[in-house]
Structure 1
Amino acid sequence: MPLFSHRHPSSSAIPTTINPKTSKPSKPNFIPPSTRYPLPLLVFSLISLLIGLSGTIFAISAIRRPKPVPVFRCGRSEDTFRAFYSGSGRTRGDDNGALIDRPKLLGFVGIQTGFESGDRRAALRSTWFPSDPDGLLRLEQATGLAFRYVIGRSKDAKKMAQLEKEVDKYRDFMLIDVEEEYLKLPYKTLAFFKAAFKLFEADYYIKADDDIYLRPDRLATLLAKERTHSLTYIGCMKKGPVITDPKMKWYEKSGHLIGNEYFLHAYGPMYVLSAEVVASLASARNNSFQFENVQQ
């Protein structure tokens, strides 16, 4: 018997390899999305784009826009001299050349004038009052005093046009918000002190007429002296009889309340008030003065 039996395994023991046919996978039914967007989304996107463009244009225009020229006003009252220097770009202010909103002064002098006083202003400009803005600035720097012609407004368009030409030429006016009329001089005086106090930080405020010859250096020396009282008045004083006759020019309707004689009051073509006195006037109502040159 042979040691080894060479038997072939049965065909049933041989594993059969099945090679199934590889079938292609079926393609899914794919529907491409629609390229049309909803109308509300389009409208929102368009509005957002317009807002963005508008903001960009505004920012660019704001950067390139020139700075507005400051106008130095107190209500409708205006200092044309400082407005001129702010618009011209010249140095007039602190050490850095910046304009000061309320410059510090030894004194502010308001020359009271009117529409019919052009010849008087011309006479002053040909003598002691500077005739150009640079000269006015040099005088202020030398003495510590600022000078302006003080004038109200008129309903006459021709008068206002003439005044505007003079303002453009000399730039030495303070325009105050009061009607320029002789019978309203007390209200003009009060309006002047109010505007001057808010536009200038001065130790003294001076009211002067436009028919005087002034020495600014002597006035500065007088004001620079030390005084023991902060409530100061420098000028003439007077008192006189109360006119009770209706036929006379200075008839006083309230004469029976005043008496036979006016009380002692400020008077004259020029007088000086300290800052503390003017501060109290600046807080007063417009009807605090009833008569010219009478301080209550």
Structure 2
Amino acid sequence: MSISSHRIATIPTLLISMFATFASIYVAGRLWQDAQNRVYLIKQLDRITGQGQSAISVDDTLKIIACREQHKKLAALEMELAAARQEGFSSNRLIESETNGTYSKTRPLVVIGILTGFGGRKNRDAIRKAWMGSGAALQKMEDGKGIIARFVIGRSANRGDNLDKDIDHENRLTNDFLILDDHVETEEGLSKKAKLFFAHAADKWDAEFYAKVNDDVYINIDALGATLATHLDKPRLYMGCMKSGEVFSEPNQKWYEPEWWKFGDKQSYFRHASGEMYAISRALAKFISINRSMLRAYAHDDVSAGSWFIGLDVKHVDDAKFCCSSWSTGAICAGV
């Protein structure tokens, strides 16, 4: 090969070397510039955040922002809880009306049905004076604590007689009755009456809980409200003084059960709440309302209520504060 040919072959090599050198200088310059930009941005971030000591990454910044947002939400919830405790026990949930699509900010905590009879005027007056109130006091309990209380009674077998007229007159004066027009008052019909109370109450009021009470029981309203409020997270709650009593199979016995042969060993009932007072959640009250025509009513209302929930995914809560046999510190009810 000639000398001139050798020189021509080395020209591309020189060009490639020069290009690589210039490229290296350019890349180094850009990296230096980016580094300078990052240093400037970090300094600005330090100045804005007031850190001044160390740089934080974008990921760390996002975590800090998320944490601050969580703190804001927690603080807001704590304020709402404090306000709820001060104002009463109503549930501050947004409830959509099934009829017109409007929303209500509150849902009553509990509807209390006090099962009473035609001869129970003295008991009713005593309850009004002791814990239920009347007129403005009754309305204040509903508005302030989210607790609705009504005396529950059916109609006379002789429809429209003096018994019915006396109840209608009393209700015009007090406006504190839930009258079951589709129920005839009889001693044997207490279980059906309890069932109809839950069904009608669930249809009339959209509450968190529904409680059945006898008219010879006094209630500590604040204790009831505080206790139920701790169980708002249980959608299918059945709560009371739980027991498993003896099944009486002889007709001359006080608590005789005509269908005694249906209960297991024929000697003891399944677990159920004592009838003086017990509470169920909204979902169970709706279940009773929907299935009222199919639910069996046994001789005793407490046994009947317990039977309605067998086979359902129900949370049974046994709370001694619902045992009304004696009044003690923190008790919810007491029999008189």
TM-score band w.r.t. shorter chain: 0.5 to 0.7
2:126 aligns to what? 123
Q: Secondary structure at the match of 1:236?
A: strand
User: Per-residue deviation at 1:117?
Assistant: 0.3
1:254 aligns to 2:259 (yes or no):
yes
Question: What CA deviation, in whole Å up to 9, does each residue of 1:224-255 have, x standing for no partner?
Answer: 11454321122111112222223333333332
CA contact (8 A) 2:217 2:276 kept: yes
1:153 aligns to what? 155
Q: Secondary structure at the match of 1:288?
A: coil
| Number of aligned positions between the proteins | 196
Q: Structure 2 matches for 1:19-58, cutoff 5 A?
A: none
Q: Structure 2 matches for 1:73-92, cutoff 5 A?
A: none
CA contact (8 A) 2:259 2:298 kept: no
Q: Tell me which of 229, 239, 247 is aligned to 2:244.
A: 239
Q: Distance in 1 between matches of 2:197 and 2:203?
A: 10
Q: Percentage identity across aligned positions?
A: 32
C-alpha spacing 1:164/1:246, structure 2 compared with 1 (3 Å): closer
Q: Secondary structure at the match of 1:197?
A: helix
Question: What CA deviation, in whole Å up to 9, does each residue of 1:144-201 have, x standing for no partner?
Answer: 1111111111134011111111011101111112111110000000000000000000
Structure 2 stretches lacking a partner, 5+ long: 1-101, 308-336
Structure 1 stretches lacking a partner, 5+ long: 1-99
Higher relative contact order (CA 8 A, sep 6+): 1
CA contact (8 A) 1:101 1:199 kept: no
Q: TM-score, normalised by structure 2?
A: 0.55
CA contact (8 A) 2:214 2:276 kept: yes
Q: Distance in 2 between matches of 1:163 and 1:212?
A: 20
1:140 aligns to what? 142
1:269 aligns to 2:276 (yes or no):
yes
Bigger Rg over Cα = 1
Q: Structure 2 matches for 1:179-194, cutoff 5 A?
A: 179-194=184-199
Question: What CA deviation, in whole Å up to 9, does each residue of 1:14-56 have, x standing for no partner?
Answer: xxxxxxxxxxxxxxxxxxxxxxxxxxxxxxxxxxxxxxxxxxx
CA contact (8 A) 2:258 2:299 kept: no
Q: TM-score, normalised by structure 1?
A: 0.62
Q: Distance in 1 between matches of 2:251 and 2:217?
A: 33
Q: Tell me which of 289, 297, 300 is aligned to 1:282.
A: 289
Q: Distance in 1 between matches of 2:164 and 2:108?
A: 30
Question: What CA deviation, in whole Å up to 9, does each residue of 1:212-231 have, x standing for no partner?
Answer: 22122221111211454321
Q: Distance in 1 between matches of 2:231 and 2:129?
A: 33
